[in-house]
Amino acid sequence: MEYIKKRIRDVYDFPSKGIVFKDLTTVFKDPRALHIIGWDLSQLYRDKGVTKVVGIESRGFIGGSILAFELGAGFVPVRKPGKLPADTLKMSYQKEYGTDTIEIHRDAITEDDVVVLHDDVLATGGTMAAAYELVKSMNPKKIYINFIIELSALNGRSNLPADAEVSSLITY
């Protein structure tokens, strides 16, 4: 993981003053780093029977697609409202400054699915908690939660369901 850590760019005062944003675009553009992330993510779930990987818009699409490919699973996007073309389920949740909503196609997950929910960074956990509840409402066999980076000082795990199995490749 040191190879990956060295390629993560810190962007100061983004998206607002006082925030140090962990930018993974510098990791994603490096072929070796991308391969390492795909391999390391897939090793966490290789023997878990995963059938679907759900990626959260937008950076979660990158790692989630790679993970789905490595596991031979399908990929399902969770998106902002109005971006998915067919019938959707919606979940609204509180953010630091208001409410947000995410959507998933109503037919994306079945009761036979074993799902990994993936996003790039665990910060406060609000979006992932909403995505978890959305997917859970579709009654899959099992749901795992995964991140590339976890910002432990923000205590995002405390906002995730207590029964969820959560993993992160890198913790700051």
Q: Strand 114-122 relative to strand 142-150: parallel, antiparallel, unpaired?
A: parallel
Alpha helices in 46-159 (DSSP H): 60-71, 126-136
Q: Is 96 a catalytic residue?
A: yes
Q: Is 59 a catalytic residue?
A: yes
In the set 70, 79, 96, 150, the catalytic residue is: 96
* Token pair for 115: 């799902």
Q: Which residues have a Cβ under 8 Å from the Cβ of 47 and sit 6 or more positions away?
A: none
In the set 7, 9, 57, 59, the catalytic residue is: 59
Strand partners, 95: 98
How far apart are the C-alpha atoms of 172 and 158, rounded to whole Å? 16
* Residues with a known catalytic role: 59, 96
